[in-house]
Amino acid sequence: MKDATAQTIYLKDYQVPEFLIDKTHLVFDLNDEFCRVRSSLSIRRNPESQSSSSPLFLHGGAELELQKIEIDSAVISETDYQRTAEGLIIDQAPDNCVINIEVLIKPHLNTTMMGLYKSRTMYCTQCEAEGFRNITFYLDRPDVMSEFTTKIIADKQQFPILLSNGNPIDQGDIENGRHFATWHDPFKKPAYLFALVAGDLSVVEDSFTTCTNRNILLQIFVEEKDLNKCDHAMLSLKNSMRWDEQTYGREYDLDRFMIVAVDDFNMGAMENKGLNIFNTSAVLANPKTTTDAAFQRVEGIVAHEYFHNWSGNRVTCRDWFQLSLKEGFTVYRDSQFSADMNSPVVKRIEDVVYLRTHQFAEDAGPMSHPVQPDAYMEINNFYTLTVYEKGAEVVGMIHSLLGDEKFRQGSDLYFSRHDGQAVTIEEFVGAMEEVSGQDLKQFRRWYKQSGTPVIDVTSHYDPEAKTYNLTFEQSCPATPGQSQKKPFVIPIKFGLVGADGRDLPLNNQGDQSMVFSLYETSQTLVFENLQQPPVPSLLRGFSAPVKLNYNYSSDQLAHLMANDSDGFNRWDAGQKLSLQVLNKLIEDAKAERELVMDQQLIKVFKSLLSDHSLDPAMVNLMLQLPSEAQLHEQAEIIYVEAIHRARQFARQSIATALEQQLASTYQRLTETQDYAPEANQIGRRALRNCVLGYLMKVKTVGPELAWQQFNNASNMTDKAAALSALVNCETAQNYATQALKAFEQDYCDETLAMNLWLQVQATSQLPEGLERVQALMEHSAFNINNPNKARSLLGAFCSANPINFHNKEGSGYEFLQQQIIALNALNPQVAARLVTPLTRWKKLPEPNCQLMRDALQQIANHKGLVKDIQEIVTKSL
């Protein structure tokens, strides 16, 4: 586990595997203190490999207790093989043979949650990316694809349910109250898609009829107490299956699709063939215990993992440098799906906020890397916002460059040509290129160059000639290992908005919106016959993951907010206006000048609240000031207090000036219908809770409303919003204390709701945040071994409570450093993700800058640091 010298893996070093494994037979004999794993591998030398005599190497961790190796039924002795830190070398493996290996593992002691481990009372697995090597010796790389048969043996009473990939082919009782089940997966797959579950689980069943009339059994396995929380996931699953048939022509292939919910899971969910394993937080949903946001997350993740059956499983990755091939594409697919199921504009805005806040920050920091990285030390560190979210944006740009029809043809070609193969991003782009006849050579730079491109746009209107010029200049800041960048191909969707608020025709065809591909460093567009200078609406729908600068006046932004035909840009104009106001306030706060609120923003917000014809979901988004995290991202230097004070001041000013409008909006949106997690209601609740947040700034009014709402809420969305409002309000601490107690009493048996309870307190902006978090670590609802709980309390405090985390004493940093060290030995993946806030140290002023650096250095000095953390800390220092 502990790597003294972590080595770097390079894309350029890729070589095809020397051996292949055609068939894999596994037997898991589960016992209280150990699991005996027997494997039988049909191995042959890869005809495509250059070397014809190299020894056979199988990956395998140090925790595997090797019992026996047989080659073609003959036991081999210890002189015939060598064990290294990484695996097993067998010198004289025949070119064609069957190798039987027996190992013992201790899943109940496995706290890393990679490989086979125990979550509460059940056994489960997580094998992506390199977890299978913790189960047995194997060629644990995605380009080795094999047909798996898996037999599981366990105590029947403790583990009545025994699951693995594919179809059940045999089952029965054996001696000593034990039983077995055998599963066969007809589709070849890499080991990272292997899964096994054994436990005392209840099941919710449904079925789906495919486009070719095949009947698929759908099963969601959960603990009995959670049976009432499966409906939403089941509905989402059926919607996903239908959608993928209709949108991408993808039909499900096996006869059953299973989902298992587990409480202890490093990620959200995993797409194991036919047997998805889900974090309970990503599958369970019930109005009483689950917020709207969590309902939507469940829908998105169920879809995402289901979509992987084609984009990931049927066509998989050759190596982990190709991760975005499956993840970027699948995130793109799940966001298209969620857009179709809900509101496309709202979904787009949410995705862009997430990208701008977190991916842009990653791309500007020490871990910045291309969508296709060219080197890594620990692959788990590369399941990043860049690979996922920016990767999805890149697929989206291909879609907009090709258009709907060609994009679909390209994906059809990609799936049919590479079905059953392990391929590269190049194959994906190649298919798109081939069907469209477009040359995507320069476009490919999106995969290879890191950093967020910047586009500076200037305009010039000539009143004599009645021409209007738009000049676009692109650049990209230097990033680690990449000082010089070549120009990208950047699709910029835009329009020109006239004084009457209507789109002006852009050409003789009368187009009102166009996609312009910027491919040089600088390009100018000329428009003729314009009687007046228009207001340019640029990067509509956020057509490329870039930062676009244009020197808008606040009047122009107000004009776009009111009139732009593009919903995304109406919202974005509001964000730009808010940013201008906030940046001015931040400057004043820094210089300790008096803060004065901009009246235009108030006016704009007032009209948003007064116009009842607007979509509440959009009004909510427009009333959201950029978060502190987003202000941090766009700041040169992060003045935490000034940013916090400026934003709070703006909120206070808005609340005071618009109390009437806010209060009447709150009343107007009182829900009369039964709860449903559908877009309209979600939008109304979001706006109502947004308004409540503002009203908290108005003495007694807000606290009383929030307290009422907390007590009367019929759903968790309203309950949690009220709780959070109270907890964050200085003058409502009496209510806050009572509400926290009541919540705890009502939901003490609901793990996920209690995680929300932890999170609400961890993100309280009131003073003494660290003390609160430290006290909560002693609470029975907390357990550092559970990733969800570690994230809800520690993760939330360190990444979503800047004013407390970045205190001047540095105690927040010291605290985080201690937690990272505590988790280092327990769960490297969770620990490594917690480091992120510290990696931004260069952007903070003194003394914080030095204090953060010290904390990182202390972590670096720790003996026995896992390579997950080593990599991030080293790159950050």
| Partner interacting with residue 267 (select from Zn ion, ligand BES, none; CB below 5-8 Å by kind) | ligand BES
Upstream peptide bond of 787 is cis (omega within 30 degrees of 0): no
Helix, strand, or coil (residue 219) = strand
Rounded to a whole number of angstroms, the minimum distance from the CB of residue 529 to Zn ion is: 49
Q: Which lies closer to ligand BES via its Cβ, residue 114 or residue 122? A: 114
Q: Which lies closer to ligand BES via its Cβ, residue 135 or residue 539? A: 135
696, 729 contact by CB (below 8 A)? yes
**684 lines the binding site for ligand BES (CB under 6 A):** no
**371 lines the binding site for ligand BES (CB under 6 A):** no
Q: Which lies closer to ligand BES via its Cβ, residue 665 or residue 827? A: 827
Under 8 Å CB-to-CB from 312, ≥6 apart: which residues?
Answer: 271, 326, 327, 330
Nearest to 41 by CA among 94, 78, 85, 86: 94
Nearest to 695 by CA among 647, 646, 652: 652
564, 498 contact by CB (below 8 A)? no
From 31-39, 264-272, 453-461, 715-723, give the range in contact with ligand BES by CB under 6 A.
264-272
Rounded to a whole number of angstroms, the minimum distance from the CB of residue 870 to ligand BES is: 18
From 202-210, 304-312, 414-422, 630-638, give the range in contact with ligand BES by CB under 6 A.
304-312
Rounded to a whole number of angstroms, the minimum distance from the CB of residue 281 to ligand BES is: 10
From 327-335, 349-357, 547-555, 776-784, give the range in contact with ligand BES by CB under 6 A.
327-335
Q: Which lies closer to ligand BES via its Cβ, residue 223 or residue 271? A: 271
C-alpha span between 94 and 99 (Å, rounded): 10
| Partner interacting with residue 129 (select from Zn ion, ligand BES, none; CB below 5-8 Å by kind) | ligand BES
Q: Which lies closer to ligand BES via its Cβ, residue 371 or residue 577? A: 371
Rg, the chain, Cα only: 28
Rounded to a whole number of angstroms, the minimum distance from the CB of residue 310 to Zn ion is: 12
Task: Give Cα separations from 591 to 350, 586, 629, 714, 803 (angstroms).
Answer: 33, 9, 21, 46, 18
Q: How many residues are listed for the chain in this entry?
A: 877
Rounded to a whole number of angstroms, the minimum distance from the CB of residue 285 to ligand BES is: 15
**268 lines the binding site for ligand BES (CB under 6 A):** yes
Map the footprint of ligand BES across residues 209-238, applying CB under 6 A: none
153, 117 contact by CB (below 8 A)? no
C-alpha span between 344 and 354 (Å, rounded): 15
**304 lines the binding site for ligand BES (CB under 6 A):** yes
C-alpha span between 365 and 357 (Å, rounded): 13
Q: How many residues bind Zn ion (CB under 5 A)?
A: 2
Task: Give Cα separations from 428 to 271, 369, 382, 424, 817 (angstroms).
Answer: 20, 20, 20, 7, 41
From 235-243, 299-307, 781-789, 842-850, give the range in contact with ligand BES by CB under 6 A.
299-307
Q: Which lies closer to ligand BES via its Cβ, residue 129 or residue 539? A: 129
- What x-and-dash track marks residues 791-810 binding ligand BES by CB under 6 A? --------------------
**688 lines the binding site for ligand BES (CB under 6 A):** no
CB-CB neighbours of 623 under 10 Å: 23
Map the footprint of ligand BES across residues 509-568, applying CB under 6 A: none
Q: Which lies closer to Zn ion via its Cβ, residue 310 or residue 649? A: 310
Q: Among 18, 102, 128, 572, which residue interacts with ligand BES (rule: CB under 6 A)?
A: 128
Q: Among 118, 151, 229, 308, which residue interacts with ligand BES (rule: CB under 6 A)?
A: 308
**269 lines the binding site for ligand BES (CB under 6 A):** yes
CA dihedral 405, 408, 409, 410 (to 10 degrees): 120
Q: Which lies closer to Zn ion via its Cβ, residue 327 or residue 868? A: 327
| Partner interacting with residue 269 (select from ligand BES, Zn ion, none; CB below 5-8 Å by kind) | ligand BES
**The two three-digit tokens of residue 22, written as one number:** 């055609």
**270 lines the binding site for ligand BES (CB under 6 A):** yes
Rounded to a whole number of angstroms, the minimum distance from the CB of residue 690 to Zn ion is: 31
**267 lines the binding site for ligand BES (CB under 6 A):** yes
Q: Which lies closer to ligand BES via its Cβ, residue 90 or residue 267? A: 267
Residue nearest to ligand BES (CB): 268
From 261-269, 409-417, 576-584, 706-714, give the range in contact with ligand BES by CB under 6 A.
261-269
C-alpha span between 114 and 348 (Å, rounded): 33
CB-CB neighbours of 514 under 10 Å: 15
Q: Among 244, 327, 628, 633, which residue interacts with ligand BES (rule: CB under 6 A)?
A: 327
Active site residues: 305
For the chain, helix (H) and strand (E) counts, in that order, are 30, 31
Map the footprint of Zn ion across residues 314-343, applying CB under 5 A: 327, 330
**263 lines the binding site for ligand BES (CB under 6 A):** no
Rounded to a whole number of angstroms, the minimum distance from the CB of residue 282 to ligand BES is: 7
> Beta-strand (E) ranges in 74-214?
74-75, 81-83, 87-90, 96-105, 115-119, 122-126, 146-155, 161-164, 167-173, 178-189, 196-199, 202-209
C-alpha span between 190 and 764 (Å, rounded): 44
Q: Among 130, 264, 305, 718, which residue interacts with ligand BES (rule: CB under 6 A)?
A: 305
- Partner residues linked to 474 by β-bridges: 455
**129 lines the binding site for ligand BES (CB under 6 A):** yes
Nearest to 662 by CA among 640, 636, 688: 688
In the block, residue with structure tokens 């870039």 = 546
Q: How many residues bind ligand BES (CB under 6 A)?
A: 17
Rounded to a whole number of angstroms, the minimum distance from the CB of residue 112 to ligand BES is: 12
Rounded to a whole number of angstroms, the minimum distance from the CB of residue 128 to Zn ion is: 9
C-alpha span between 322 and 318 (Å, rounded): 7
Q: Which lies closer to ligand BES via its Cβ, residue 326 or residue 688? A: 326
600, 559 contact by CB (below 8 A)? no
Distance linking the first and last C-alpha atoms of the chain: 23
C-alpha span between 427 and 65 (Å, rounded): 40
Q: Among 233, 331, 387, 732, which residue interacts with ligand BES (rule: CB under 6 A)?
A: 331
Q: Which lies closer to Zn ion via its Cβ, residue 316 or residue 763? A: 316
**300 lines the binding site for ligand BES (CB under 6 A):** yes
In the block, residue with structure tokens 């732009």 = 564
Under 8 Å CB-to-CB from 367, ≥6 apart: which residues?
Answer: 381, 384, 839, 872, 875, 876
Rounded to a whole number of angstroms, the minimum distance from the CB of residue 330 to ligand BES is: 7
CB-CB neighbours of 376 under 10 Å: 18
Site residues (CB under 5 A) for Zn ion?
A: 327, 330
Site residues (CB under 6 A) for ligand BES?
A: 128-129, 267-271, 300-301, 304-305, 308, 327, 331, 334, 383, 388
